[in-house]
Amino acid sequence: MTTTNMGLDDSGMTIEPVDKASVEKVNLLGMSEDKLAAFFEGQGEKRFRVKQVMQWVHQRGVIDFDAMSDLSKALRAKLAELAEIKLPELVSEQVSEDGTRKWLVRVTAGSCIEMVFIPEGNRGTLCVSSQIGCALDCSFCATGKQGFNRDLSAAEIIGQLWIAAKSLDSLDPTKDRVISNVVLMGMGEPLLNFDNVVDAMNLMMHDCAYGLSKRRVTLSTAGVVPALDKLGDVTDVSLAISLHAPNDELRNQLVPLNRKYPIAELLRSAQGYLAKLPDKRRKITVEYTLMREINDRPEHARELAALLVDTPCKINLIPFNPFDQSDYQRVSNNALYRFRDILIEAGYTVTLRTTRGDDIDAACGQLAGQVNDRTKRSQRYRQQQDQGLEAVRIIPA
């Protein structure tokens, strides 16, 4: 029911009717502790309300203010009028034969994003998105071919964790945590959405929310250097850099952002991030997607080993996962193991990313979603396919 009020102000002027139903409510879902405290203080409430509401939402999965029983009835009524806990809309959930899960959620005007849960032994990793699409257009990533729409709000980022944790019964901090790790490696470049990503990560680590360790929340970046330079001033999460090439010439083609922020600048910034951390034992994860006859040769491995000699890091090798609109091919097992062995012999800790969820297009680099593309990039790629043209491919020297 719509309620309107009309009356006179002190000067005798008529006050225009106010349609309470049209007042936009404040979404409390993605608010940091400080922002939530400012909201409650603005309503004349004490700061302890922050802890109560955070625990109801993020640890008990309650989004109805009326069910928050330790809040007064008056406060519950006020919150129902002024605020909301608004989640992204769950569209679908797929489960792979290997236990990997992928969710498609709608966030705005028909656009959808994807997030993936990967179980492995006692470890469960949720890969979340930070943007609708991605503006960077890395040549080996399906997300980039969808174009770009906008940044996700902090509520839309943390809402992915809420939805997945609710689905997996992983909200209650007194139970064994199903989701033990969160990585911002889904759709989008996190450092291009700096403030919202930082707020969401801080909620992931907050004791009254999800309580994840700083070592178990990882931000992955292709190298937005100015944002990375200031990241260490506001958080100490784990850092991964998407390198994928041992020199600028090759990386310029794989990761176009490299033309603006070349490898030397990226490594300097990453080293600077580590220097700001109180724990001097921390390392960066270097992500390297291997594509057949593109960046998988022994000379590439030796060049990578020399490049990273001054950077405390471990290296994660990722076999390329094919998708439509790309003609790259998966690295051969022989080339993959040869590449790994060269790095190990050079003294690096090396892990191999196992392909998971391939049967539901949930493997690394395959997230596509449904993007209302403002860049028109997806339209150009579709036209290229319709005309029977080959996707742009790097020709090895």
For residues 232 and 281, state if they share a domain.
Answer: yes
Q: Which residue has the higher pLDDT, 140 or 385?
A: 140
Number of domains in the chain: 2
Pairing of strands 131-133, 217-221: unpaired
Domain that holds residue 103: 89-386
Domain final residue, candidates 84, 101, 136:
84
Q: What mean pLDDT is predicted for residues 136-140?
A: 89
**In sequence order, what are the residues at sequence separation of 6 or more whose Cβ sits closer than 8 angstroms to the Cβ of residue 99?**
119
pLDDT at residue 366 greater than cutoff 90 = no
pLDDT of 158-171, one tens digit each?
A: 999 999 999 999 88
Phi, psi of 18 (to 5 degrees): -110, 120
Q: Tokens 């409430």 identify what position?
A: 45
Residues in the chain: 397
pLDDT of residue 2: 36
Beta strands per DSSP E along the chain: 7-8, 14-15, 26-27, 83-84, 89-95, 101-108, 111-120, 123-127, 131-133, 148-151, 181-184, 217-221, 238-242, 284-290, 313-319, 350-352
DSSP-derived secondary structure letter, 57 = I
Q: What mean pLDDT is predicted for residues 62-80?
A: 97
Percent of the chain having pLDDT more than 70?
84
What is this structure's pTM? 0.87
pLDDT of residue 344: 98
For residues 190 and 60, state if they share a domain.
Answer: no
pLDDT at residue 127 greater than cutoff 90 = yes
> Which active-site residues does the annotation give?
114, 364
- CATH, residue 76: 1.10.150.530
Classify residue 351: in a domain, yes or no. yes
Give the pLDDT band (50/70/90) at residue 321. Answer: confident
pLDDT of 230-260, one tens digit each?
A: 999 999 999 999 999 999 999 999 999 999 9
For residues 34 and 167, state if they share a domain.
Answer: no
Q: What mean pLDDT is predicted for residues 223-227?
A: 98
* 3-state SS assignment for residue 323: coil
For residues 52 and 150, state if they share a domain.
Answer: no
For residues 282 and 137, state if they share a domain.
Answer: yes
